Every structure is written in C-alpha cells, then in structure tokens.
Amino acid sequence: MSCPPRALYDVPAPAKLNLFLHITGRRPNGYHLLQSVFMLIDWADTLHLERRPGGHISREDLNTDAPALPEHDLVVRAAQALQQATGCTWGAHIALDKRIPQEAGMGGGSSDAASCLLALNQLWGLHLPRATLMALGLRLGADVPFFLGGQHAWVEGIGEQLQPLALPTARFVVLKPPTGVATPQIFQHPSLERDCPVADMHDFLTLDASTLYQYGHNSLQAVAQQLCPDIGWGLHWLQQQGLPGRMTGSGSALFAPLPDGADLDLGTLRPGWQAKICRNLSAHPLAG
C-alpha cells in the first residue's frame, strides 16, 4: 500500500443550493424531517491541509476579511471527531480560504467539514469507507453527509437519507444580502410550516429542465423573511429582473435559474450585497 501524502493543498469544498425544501414533520429530538433536492454549484471554499505529529489540530483563515463565526470550528470538530473515532494520533494544520458566504444556507461550513474529513482520511492513512465518514459527518451537521455523498441528491430524513440524481446543466444567479439569520432561530419559530405534504421523487424526476427548477417551495422562507427583511427585498429585486427567486436552505442567500443570454442589472443591488453567476456541477470535485 502506498504511503499517505504529508500534505494536501487546494482541496475544494463546493457550496450547495436547495432547489426546494419542504418540512414534513418533526422528530421527538426536535430535528425536522425534510424533503429537498441539494444541488452542488461552482462557488467553493478551498482547504490546505498538512499532517503534523502530536495530535494537535490548528486552523488558519487565509481570507482574513471573513468574520470569525462559530461555523468555522466545524472543521476542527470534524478533525477531532475523526481522531476520536479511529484513535489516530496524527494532528494537522488546516488553512481555509473562505469564499462561500456564511449564514447563507449554502452549506459552506458543512462542505468544509466534509472535505476536511475526506482529506484527513487520506493524510492520516485511515482508509475509512465513505459510509463511515457519512455517519460521523451526520453528528457534526445535518448537511455534512450530502457533501460526502458527492452528487446532487434527493434528500430526506433530517438530511441523512440521500438518493443521488442527475440534473440538467444550468446557470443560476445567487444573491447574498449583508444580513443573515441563525438556522436554529428559523427551525424553532412557532409559525414555521411543518406539515408539507410528502412529495414523490419520481414526480420530480419526470419534470423537464424548464419546470424542474420551479418545483416546490422553501418551507423556511416565510419565517426567514420575517426575521430578515433583506430577503424580501432580494426576492423583489429578482422579480423585477423577471426571475423567479427563492431562498436556499435557511437563507439568507437567494437564487434563480438564469436563462441563456439573460442580462442582469447588478448595479441596482444595494451596497453590501454579493451576487455571483454560478453553474451546477456534474459531481463533487472529490467524488471517487
């Protein structure tokens, strides 16, 4: 068996968009049952990892402009969880180039954790199967197993039941307001829609490219909009551009499919808003 590498640089961690997100119930532990399609896009963070002796995990932000939110710690927690699960005595230094907006519903923190688990599995010579990493990842966050799965997916349960699916190539405009909402605040809100009828994946799969990206809605959007008025402003802005906007995950990022040749007037966005034209990926860059 070949020797594990001492370092892995330029490890990508792509973002996701939730094409729709329906809350269909709640587990006794408070976690919500959902149905969603998670789609990988080409807006990504980058990790650089070096194996170190002594077990210590250190983390560095290469993009110093990024605010130090607790979400960052998920990478360190992922590394520590892998050490605990395997008894591995190696440590690591992890440098993170954070590009995906935070408090966006784009899964940046979860994707970083997933890419960190995949990279350390290799750097530390652990050879854990992907299914074991996914079980470990679920304990870190409900979105982590999706990123480890490596493909667009129909997602159920609390985020751990994944059925890979193919999606037609498409472009999207993604907007991030300067403000955000904490995910637990939305999920705990009394007026959250929690009784969405259960959808059938096969109905979704029969749709063509022109209707697929309009399917369903986001159950978290109404509450998020109440808590974060910028979301309403962004949806209105998209509507003015002739685009059917929607929130991804628990927000506050919004997106809309972009027809070929569509011309956007980004200059009319308010100061502090981020806008990016993204494409969906055919698969996670680390898949396989």
- What amino acid positions are annotated as catalytic residues? 16, 143
143 binds ligand C5P (CB under 6 A): yes
Decide whether 143 or 238 has the Cβ nearer to ligand C5P: 143
Q: Which residue has the tokens 């932000």?
A: 61
187 binds ligand C5P (CB under 6 A): yes
Q: What is the DSSP letter of 249?
A: T
Query: Which tokens in the block code for residue 6?
Result: 């001492």
Answer for which of 141, 149, 234, 257 binds ligand C5P (CB under 6 A) is 141
Amino acid, res. 108: G
Helices and strands in the chain: count of H runs, count of E runs: 9, 10
14 binds ligand C5P (CB under 6 A): no
> Whose CA is closest to 120, among 76, 152, 67?
76
Alpha carbon dihedral 33, 37, 40, 46, in 10-degree steps, equals -10
Q: What is the largest CA-CA distance in the chain?
A: 58
CB of 41 to ligand C5P, least distance (A): 18
Answer for which of 16, 22, 32, 246 binds ligand C5P (CB under 6 A) is 32
24 binds ligand C5P (CB under 6 A): no
Torsion sign (Cα): 146, 151, 156, 161: negative
**Count, residues in the chain:** 288
Contact string (CB under 6 A) for ligand C5P, positions 152-171, x = contact:
------xx------------
218 binds ligand C5P (CB under 6 A): no
CB of 179 to ligand C5P, least distance (A): 18
Q: Residues interacting with ligand C5P, by CB under 6 A?
A: 30-32, 34, 141-143, 158-159, 183-184, 187
